[in-house]
Chain A
Amino acid sequence: MSSVDFKTYVDQACRAAEEFVNIYYTTMDKRRRLLSRLYMGTATLVWNGNAVSGQESLSEFFEMLPSSEFQINVIDCQPVHDEATPSQTTVLVVICGTVKFEGNKQRDFNQNFILTAQASPSNTVWKIASDCFRFQDWAS
């Protein structure tokens, strides 16, 4: 990443992150069954200390969660250095907000994602390589 095109990387990461956050939480709240399609086949999830990996297990895991209403308050993102992920365009997305799972009180959460660009002939599709979710007050 030379500093000339660093801004280009940042802009690309921001666009990807904003679009992704929009799609992710709408799918989570309204079309949960399709959520696992946003993940790569080999994706991993760490959800409040529970590790899940692979699309099929993820899909089962999400079906198990009560229905949700997410509200996003903070989004940040960074282009991931290409030495860490050679020949892969990768973005770190960090989110903070509140969530109300049906039958539970509203809680604050932090979530971060590693997104990987999957080039297709017509456009770039971002898929989740890794997802880490925690309630801020998970221990209480």
Chain B
Amino acid sequence: MGMTITEKILAAHAGKDSVSPGDLVNIKLDLVLSNDITAPIAIKQFKEIGVKDVFDKNKVVMVPDHFAPNKDIDSAEQCKMLRTFAHEQDLTNYFEVGRMGIEHALLPEQGLVLPGDAIIGADSHTCTYGGLGAFSTGMGSTDIAAAMATGETWLKVPSSIKFVFNGHLNPWVTGKDLILYTIGQIGVDGALYQAMEFTGEAISALSMDGRLSMCNMAIEAGGKSGIIGPDQKTLDYVEDRSHREFTVYKSDNDAEYTQIYEWDVSDIEPQIAFPHLPSNARGISDVGDIVIDQVVIGSCTNGRLEDLRIAAQILKGREVDKNVRCIVIPATQEIYRQAMLEGLLEIFIEAKAAVSTPTCGPCLGGHMGILAKGERALATTNRNFVGRMGHPESEVYLSGPAVAAASAIAGKIISPEHL
């Protein structure tokens, strides 16, 4: 019987010829990640284990990105714990403010994530790296502490669901819209414990940025991971970034899936997820009149260069509505620099948008754009849970960058087609 790309990666990292869904395996890890919210607990637990050094100083990555640059004294103390630990352990891949970015945009950009890798991170959106054909999944701090000590983790081999996207994408439809549509169809636990494998001609047509956005939100359907088989675009992306060998895996034709969904993307328009679950997705033409107070364009889902280019294309020569605060957050220093060179930042500023240094910030209600009671935001982020961006009685709607930029101008949620 054939294997899926996920099963092949896990078998290789478990030192086995083959694995099947449901097998409990112990796998060797290529990278172990944590951030300023999750690393403090991981560091405490690591010290509790009693080993002196991390298993490999090149493979333990720490990124202060959630409440960084330090939003207050408590957050400063948490970031300091990472800094001190990174120094003690001489970690190669600790990314300080000024060098950092949102972890899931930063790691692929820096060539730290490669096709065929097995990666765990103490952040639920670690599943992003499936966009490069890697197996990656989020875990808690204690699992990360154990992995920092041993370079290994145990997990259950997930069964896979295959999502086939046929046809050509409509204007303004991106990877974000495809994943919101998918979650809308299967629900927030529709892929619980499973790997979500995305394929089809519309996926081949997506940029790497779009693929990373899609896999990023696999967790919002309960998925253990999201994955897209590497192709020439993937290899071109990693060519100049990789500093080590990697293996390209592909699913066999006779691999087994618990379910196969097949959709024609010409039926999919830009998607909006209504409060308070990402599964409350609907097409832009079914949205109605929703007035907004804030727009956020950024996050590990949609803070990449392609997202900023799309937003700038729409904001160019226009102005953000006077009743809207529009906050643009390039996800990494490199994206920020590139946006500056391309003149995107100037377009944002002339449009009266605020541009911030990289941070997860408002996405999780941390800082840099918290909502007051009763306020409503449209965001390119990944979660619209109760109180996610601030007051428990505020609301978050989710969309891709095109609808977000158009809505910032209109002061209500609209399609770029209707500007």
- A and B form one complex: no
